[in-house]
Amino acid sequence: MAKKRTFAVGVDYGTNSVRTLIVDTADGREVATAVFPYPSGEAGILLDPKDPNLARQNPADYIDGFFQSVEEAVNIARRDPEFAVEDVVGVGVDTTGSTPLPVDAQGMPLAMKPAFRNNLAAQAWLWKDHTSIAEAAEITEKAKKHRDGYLTKCGGTYSSEWFWSKALHCKRTAPKVFAAAAAWVECADFIPAYITGNTAPATMPRGICAAGHKAMYHEQWGGLPKKAFLKSLDPDLACLGETFNTPALPSDRVAGFLTAEVAKRVRLPAGIPVAVGALDAHLGAVGAGIKPGTLVKIIGTSTCDMMVAPVDGEFPDIPGLCGIVPGSIIPGMYGLEAGQSAVGDIFNWFAKYLAPCAYAASGDIIANLTVAAEKLRPGESGLVALDWNNGNRTILVDALLSGLLVGQTLHTTAPEIYRALVEATAFGALTIINRVEEYGVKVKEVVNCGGIAEKSPMVMQIYADVCNRPMKISRSAQTCALGATIFGTVVGGAHRDVPAAQRAMTGVKSLVYRPNKKAAKVYADLYTIYRQLHDAFGVPGSKVPLDRAMKNLIALRHRVRHEG
Amino acid sequence: MAKKRTFAVGVDYGTNSVRTLIVDTADGREVATAVFPYPSGEAGILLDPKDPNLARQNPADYIDGFFQSVEEAVNIARRDPEFAVEDVVGVGVDTTGSTPLPVDAQGMPLAMKPAFRNNLAAQAWLWKDHTSIAEAAEITEKAKKHRDGYLTKCGGTYSSEWFWSKALHCKRTAPKVFAAAAAWVECADFIPAYITGNTAPATMPRGICAAGHKAMYHEQWGGLPKKAFLKSLDPDLACLGETFNTPALPSDRVAGFLTAEVAKRVRLPAGIPVAVGALDAHLGAVGAGIKPGTLVKIIGTSTCDMMVAPVDGEFPDIPGLCGIVPGSIIPGMYGLEAGQSAVGDIFNWFAKYLAPCAYAASGDIIANLTVAAEKLRPGESGLVALDWNNGNRTILVDALLSGLLVGQTLHTTAPEIYRALVEATAFGALTIINRVEEYGVKVKEVVNCGGIAEKSPMVMQIYADVCNRPMKISRSAQTCALGATIFGTVVGGAHRDVPAAQRAMTGVKSLVYRPNKKAAKVYADLYTIYRQLHDAFGVPGSKVPLDRAMKNLIALRHRVRHEG
């Protein structure tokens, strides 16, 4: 008799919408997908016209989004004759992060209480909220001096995007909201807690992924930073730390079971196990088949670069990486997170603000620019750019950086600049690969996923040529949600562990972008110049001579144009 | 009885057309103007699709242009009841340069002989022809080592735009043309010679302006470089030097008198004195009222910056200046020439290649960008650029440089970049002012002329704010042609010398752009960053720390945006 089919549900909370995916646990086949765009604010984000750094979300959108997208996906799945709701073995959840929200003693979001409904400080503080720059600098300053080395696992700099910065900024700028909050919880923890009926901050399960990468949680110093350290930032942060007393867990652990009330709303049986929540990029890496030696790049408006490494003995602290956290991606392995602050965002910026009519008058601007840019040969424009329009996340961890373009003549065209910007992001990608390899973590393959990996062959070919490595593409176009289903699968017992589930449910496309030798050679020369600019403008205290940079670009341009 | 009215004719050979101006010598009043666009090539320039560095002109266009534009101007003037051809006292001529042309033993252009009519090497080599980069480097190399210091009067670097580079390149790449040429003469010398019937190379008058600024002619070493030096470049260059045996003359000297044949064609009496020719920018400076302490900026696609200084004792060699030549602007004074390789060309480049539809769809793109750019406050974009899209003429004298823009975010707009480019050219202008003042030449006033000075109040206000000096505008909109009339006036005896003629015939507009204190303060900070980038990328062997540059731009942006 054939083995009985089973299914898993993955719920993926992105920046603008939540997506539910239902897959067959045998092979990852997608049975149903449903997307719910957050109705509040602009594309789901609450903004403040007076402060471009502010980005919040309405927690009610998360709850509505769970009910609506899961119910819709279940309804679609039920049309499949092989699917039955009784065969759903588990639910996995991923969310953006650090996206903390202030909650009351029962764990309900303050934003859902009438008194705070319209208070921006009481909402969820979306990952890309940058209001807490001053607090991040202060935390970095104090943590750097601390003998426990709280920053050694997160690249040496604490970010304004992260948990403690945000809570501290709220305390200082919206003290009433801060005082009303019994605790602050990550969105990734709130959703599993809510659907399993266990939202009380003191007992709700917390994921290692958000805690480790965003809240300086590490076994090495016994969990969260010590009370005295938090107190030195603000006595109330020490109290906030007290509300998080349970050990943080990897996502192959059960957070709880679907309550009858929630299950009924989404037309699933009650009692289905729900995995501990994790961050979207990390589960995306799982959905893209991450394993030791594989770098997964999730390339969208920004980039997340993920790796895992076996936990055997000591693992080096790698300067500039956003995080190295045991169990944050695959349980039992170190999870490494790096990233670029802007990739697609830079392409979109150029298309929106600087594309002339010839490319912008009709059709898709990016597509029009790409048609022209892909006809150019590496080096022939004489341009090189830095990919820092939104700062540099890895390896410099510095938001106070900006874009740079060098090599313009009186004949430089828009497609040439566009291509230089694509190349700049590729050089940024190579810089990350080089950094992890310098610290002994070998990158044996690169698997790409996300919108740009799916849609832009030119970008992927440039990445292959610049990195001088084949670029593979994840088979699934929704790797984050697929990663969430894998944890649903594992907590539901359909596979014995994450690697086994990945082997069955993930893979790469047969199309692989392979490096062109001639292009790779030119890009090696261009990268030398990129790296000089990178170090000169980005590394404190550096004095890199740049007096040959323009001449070298002109010589390279001349060589490429005349060698043909 | 009132003094009898007299008139002078100025003939100004520009890059795309020749302009004749007839003025009243009493006050510079414009009696007639006529323009003749060169009919050959593209806008008067012969191009080679295979070589973007090549730019030549058909000498026949110069001759036709003289006849047609002077005749038309005379016809217009005759409608003026106060004008009579008998009252024309003199003719002055200015041309672009270095624009040398190969001629036969009678001084006729080779290009006008059937055998060479279609040979690009036999035409006039326009000032912006850059085919001779290799020869310029070789001449620089050898001249630097020579004890006579042949480069001390031209900024330390010999240019590919100049006389000897072009002749040597012709010898090497078109030896038949070179062999057929009895001599090479500057356009500025050829025109007066032609209209006065004295074209034989051995006897034709040569102007000090072109010879001094473009052919390393200087009294200090007895005229042209010594024969042994020219021989070390190529024995044929030594022979070429022999064809130029007369002392070079300033333009208040008579080159000759209008021949009967030429006079008849243009409806003027024969025998009118013609001044020795000079370069357009130099006579433009005269037409703008240059005197000791006055910097005249001719701002068009590129910029020429001119000053004069009394000849009393030694004058310092100023590193990076294109030229310091006695008598090249005003007889009896040193003429100083500096310049920026691209100014309007950079604005036009941006408008043509990078202006989005919002600014380019209708109307004048530059005007549309200007409307938006002038609303911005100094520093608020966080951008700074280098004005080197066409290399740097002064003070680095380096064609192998290129453009640079730093400070881009994901919100940077086209008008912000446009303004940054305007500011970059202003910083370049300030760098020139600072350099001459560092060497003891005080800039007491700045008089601007040329298309951009006439048409762009925003640009002129930014120049005033960046340089923290008032910017005056020349009263005449055609200063080069007016300068030529002044020399016609002087050789015709209507004024006793150039300063006297200038006092009567030139002036500035009542509108003066005065620096805004607050803007000047911000620009002083921005200039510090510009200068760091300038030195880091442009000065050989420099090691300027740039690790604070982006942070300083962001801090300045923040300060400006929040101080309001």
CB A385 within 8 A of CB A403: yes
Which of A165, A92, A173, A106 minimizes the C-alpha distance to A133? A165
d(CA A493, CA B239): 96
Kindly determine whether residue A354 and residue B549, on different chains, have CB atoms separated by under 8 Å.
no
d(CA B15, CA A309): 67
pLDDT at position A313, please?
A: 61
Kindly determine whether residue A402 and residue B355, on different chains, have CB atoms separated by under 8 Å.
no
A128 CB neighbours in chain B (<8 A) are: none
CB A378 within 8 A of CB A519: yes
pLDDT at position B312, please?
A: 77
**CB nearest to B537's CB, from A354, A411, A546:** A546
pLDDT tens digit sequence for A382-435:
999 999 999 999 999 888 999 999 999 999 999 999 999 999 999 999 999 999
Sheet holding A46-48, edge to edge: A46-48, A51-57, A124-125
Secondary structure of A63-100 in HEC code, one letter for each residue: HHHHHHHHHHHHHHHCCCCCCCHHHEEEEEEEECCCCE
Q: Which residues pair with A10 in a beta bridge?
A: A21, A92
A544 CB neighbours in chain B (<8 A) are: 543
Q: Which residues contact B292 (CB under 8 A, 6 or more apart)?
A: B308, B309, B310, B333
d(CA A198, CA B384): 54
Query: Among all residues of chain A, which has the CA nearest to that of B353?
Result: A413
CB B315 within 8 A of CB B237: no
B160 CB neighbours in chain A (<8 A) are: none
Kindly determine whether residue A404 and residue B403, on different chains, have CB atoms separated by under 8 Å.
no
B551 CB neighbours in chain A (<8 A) are: 400-401
The per-residue pLDDT string of chain B (564 residues; one tens digit each, 9 = 90 and over) reads 457 899 999 999 999 999 999 999 999 999 999 999 999 999 999 999 888 789 999 999 999 999 999 999 999 999 999 999 999 999 999 999 999 999 999 999 999 999 999 999 999 999 999 999 899 999 999 999 999 899 988 878 899 999 999 999 999 999 999 999 999 999 999 999 999 999 999 999 999 999 999 999 998 899 999 999 999 999 999 999 999 989 999 999 999 999 999 999 999 999 999 999 999 999 999 999 999 999 999 999 899 999 999 887 667 788 888 778 999 999 999 999 999 999 999 999 999 999 999 999 889 999 999 999 999 999 999 999 999 999 999 999 888 999 999 999 999 999 999 999 999 999 999 999 999 999 989 999 999 999 999 999 999 999 999 999 999 999 999 999 999 999 999 999 999 999 999 999 999 999 999 999 999 999 999 999 999 999 999 999 998 999 999 999 999 999 998 875
Q: What percent of chain A has pLDDT over 70?
A: 99
Query: Among all residues of chain A, which has the CA nearest to that of B382?
Result: A402
pLDDT at position A564, please?
A: 59
pLDDT > 70? residue A2: no
Which of B97, B155, B144, B53 minimizes the C-alpha distance to B392? B155
d(CA B449, CA B12): 15
B537 CB neighbours in chain A (<8 A) are: 406, 546-547, 549-550
**CB nearest to B402's CB, from A356, A407, A539:** A407
Query: Among all residues of chain B, which has the CA nearest to that of A302?
Result: B410
Q: What is the number of CB-based contacts under 8 A between chain A and chain B?
A: 147
Choose the mutation target among B402, B411, B533, B556 for the interface with A, i.e. most A CBs under 10 Å. Answer: B402
d(CA A130, CA A169): 10
Distance from the Cα of A563 to chain B's closest Cα (Å) equals: 15
Kindly determine whether residue A405 and residue B409, on different chains, have CB atoms separated by under 8 Å.
no
pLDDT tens digit sequence for A262-300:
999 999 999 999 999 999 999 999 999 999 999 999 999
Which of B130, B136, B312, B105 minimizes the C-alpha distance to B216? B136
**CB nearest to B409's CB, from A402, A417, A541:** A402
Query: Among all residues of chain B, which has the CA nearest to that of A357?
Result: B357
Kindly determine whether residue A403 and residue B409, on different chains, have CB atoms separated by under 8 Å.
yes
What is the DSSP code string of A427-473?
HHHHHHHHHHHHTT----EEEEESHHHHH-HHHHHHHHHHHTS-EEE
d(CA B562, CA B417): 21
**Higher-confidence position of A243 and A313:** A243
Choose the mutation target among A359, A365, A390, A402 for the interface with B, i.e. most B CBs under 10 Å. Answer: A402
B406 CB neighbours in chain A (<8 A) are: 402-405, 537
Angle, CA of A277, A117 and A19, to the nearest 5°? 35
Choose the mutation target among A340, A345, A352, A354 for the interface with B, i.e. most B CBs under 10 Å. Answer: A354
Which of B83, B62, B69 minimizes the C-alpha distance to B21? B69
A417 CB neighbours in chain B (<8 A) are: 354
Kindly determine whether residue A536 and residue B539, on different chains, have CB atoms separated by under 8 Å.
no
d(CA A276, CA A102): 20
Kindly determine whether residue A540 and residue B547, on different chains, have CB atoms separated by under 8 Å.
yes
Distance from the Cα of A324 to chain B's closest Cα (Å) equals: 27
Kindly determine whether residue A360 and residue B356, on different chains, have CB atoms separated by under 8 Å.
yes
Query: Among all residues of chain A, which has the CA nearest to that of B544?
Result: A543
> Quick one: DSSP state of residue B248?
P
Distance from the Cα of B331 to chain A's closest Cα (Å) equals: 37
pLDDT at position A59, please?
A: 98
Region for A493 from its dihedrals, namely left if φ exceeds 0, alpha if ψ lies in -120 to 50, beta otherwise: left
* Residue appearing with tokens 């969105």: A187
pLDDT at position B296, please?
A: 98
pLDDT at position A53, please?
A: 85
pLDDT > 60? residue A1: no
pLDDT > 50? residue A9: yes
A332-346: average pLDDT: 94
A356 CB neighbours in chain B (<8 A) are: 352-357, 360
pLDDT tens digit sequence for A165-220:
999 999 999 999 999 999 999 999 999 999 999 999 999 999 999 999 999 999 88
A529 CB neighbours in chain B (<8 A) are: none
Give the number of other Cβ atoms within 10 Å of residue B486's Cβ: 35
pLDDT at position A548, please?
A: 97
**CB nearest to A402's CB, from B389, B403, B550:** B550
B52 CB neighbours in chain A (<8 A) are: 411
pLDDT at position A323, please?
A: 79
Distance from the Cα of A306 to chain B's closest Cα (Å) equals: 25
d(CA B386, CA B390): 11
Kindly determine whether residue A412 and residue B353, on different chains, have CB atoms separated by under 8 Å.
yes
In 3-state terms chain A splits into helix, strand, coil percentages (rounded to 5) of 40, 20, 35
Which of B46, B343, B533, B51 minimizes the C-alpha distance to A410? B343
Kindly determine whether residue B349 and residue A410, on different chains, have CB atoms separated by under 8 Å.
yes
Q: What is the pTM of this model?
A: 0.92
Q: What percent of chain A has pLDDT over 90?
A: 90
**CB nearest to A554's CB, from B354, B361, B402:** B402
d(CA B490, CA B272): 12
C-alpha distances in Å from residue A138, one per residue of A128, B119, B277: 19, 72, 70
Kindly determine whether residue A536 and residue B553, on different chains, have CB atoms separated by under 8 Å.
no
pLDDT at position A314, please?
A: 67
Choose the mutation target among A396, A416, A539, A546 for the interface with B, i.e. most B CBs under 10 Å. Answer: A546
CB B102 within 8 A of CB B74: no
